[in-house]
Amino acid sequence: MRIFLSILGALLFIGSAKFGYCLLLEEKLSGAEFVSLVIAFAIIGLILAFASEVQEFSIAGNIVKLKEVKRDAEKSISELKSARTETFRFLLSLAKRHPGGFSDGGIVDGRVNDFWSLYDQIVAFNCEDKLTNNLLEVVGVLLQGQLNRISQNSDAVKSKYGGKSETPAPSQLTIDALDNDSVALAAKRNVAGGDQDKIKQMLVLGLEEYKKLYELREKYKNKM
């Protein structure tokens, strides 16, 4: 970087000197003006060449403190990054809460879609590592919520996991949820209008969301 800036500074000085000399020959510049022009661009060239070392310089009596400006900018950026991380941490704590009002009765927990939108932003801003514990906590809560939604539409899942804190592997949960006898019982309770094919389709949707959350939790558990 230092070499690049030195070359750039030298080229700027040489170019400005040639340009000024041409203007001098065409009598568009006086000798004094030519000297001032060359000196000005020489200073700018030196500033470019030694930009990393220059503390400050003066233009028309106005002092420009390069290092201080850079330091202030870096401090502001650091503070903004910290504030962004804390904002994500706060939003994750809210993601665990149930929305107000009655449940929509769907197969997907009402908090899941909002969580995925928030998670995408966390990933986009590279905040995952700083929020690993928070993500694990929220995903654990959402897994239980999603398991509960599935159990409301599957007698087998409800009898096996209802009232427990266990979060089974997606493969085992799929076997339990799509058990033919369990689906038939749900149809008798008039789930999805008693249509067994619709019940299975609905359960598959819920199971897919459960699997995504489960895999995300395993990803962060392996990082711990």
Q: Judge contact between 154 and 182, C-beta under 8 A.
A: yes
Judgement on whether residues 149 and 88 belong to the same structural domain of the protein = yes
What pLDDT shows up at residue 80? Answer: 80
Judgement on whether residues 97 and 16 belong to the same structural domain of the protein = no
Judgement on whether residues 170 and 213 belong to the same structural domain of the protein = yes
Number of domains present in the structure of the chain: 2
Judgement on whether residues 132 and 194 belong to the same structural domain of the protein = yes
Q: Judge contact between 63 and 102, C-beta under 8 A.
A: no
Q: How many helices (H) and strands (E) does the chain have?
A: 9, 2
Whether 68 is covered by a domain: the verdict is no
Q: Judge contact between 173 and 146, C-beta under 8 A.
A: no
What pLDDT shows up at residue 25? Answer: 62
Q: Which domain holds residue 186?
A: 80-221
Judgement on whether residues 23 and 134 belong to the same structural domain of the protein = no
Judgement on whether residues 42 and 98 belong to the same structural domain of the protein = no
What pLDDT shows up at residue 59? Answer: 46
Angle ∠(113,187,177) on CA atoms, nearest 5 = 50
What pLDDT shows up at residue 170? Answer: 97
What pLDDT shows up at residue 70? Answer: 61
What pLDDT shows up at residue 181? Answer: 94
Position 185: which residue type? L
Whether 183 is covered by a domain: the verdict is yes
Whether 140 is covered by a domain: the verdict is yes
Per run of 10 residues, the mean pLDDT along the chain (length 224 residues) is 54 63 62 60 58 49 53 74 90 85 76 94 93 96 95 93 91 96 94 93 96 96 80
Judgement on whether residues 50 and 98 belong to the same structural domain of the protein = no
In order of 34, 84, 102, 183, 202, the CA distances from 111 in angstroms are 71, 22, 13, 26, 18
Angle ∠(13,22,34) on CA atoms, nearest 5 = 60
Whether 66 is covered by a domain: the verdict is no
What pLDDT shows up at residue 45? Answer: 58
Whether 24 is covered by a domain: the verdict is yes
Judgement on whether residues 112 and 170 belong to the same structural domain of the protein = yes
Judgement on whether residues 46 and 91 belong to the same structural domain of the protein = no
Whether 20 is covered by a domain: the verdict is yes
Whether 99 is covered by a domain: the verdict is yes
Residue-level length of the chain: 224
Token digits of residue 105: 């009765």
Judgement on whether residues 170 and 215 belong to the same structural domain of the protein = yes
Which of 37, 54, 71 corresponds to the end of one domain?
Answer: 54
Position 52: which residue type? S
Cβ contacts of residue 184 below 8 Å, gap of 6+?
196
What pLDDT shows up at residue 87? Answer: 92
Judgement on whether residues 47 and 90 belong to the same structural domain of the protein = no
Which of 10, 39, 54 corresponds to the end of one domain?
Answer: 54
Whether 67 is covered by a domain: the verdict is no
Judgement on whether residues 155 and 196 belong to the same structural domain of the protein = yes
- Please count the other Cβ atoms lying within 10 Å of the Cβ belonging to residue 168: 18
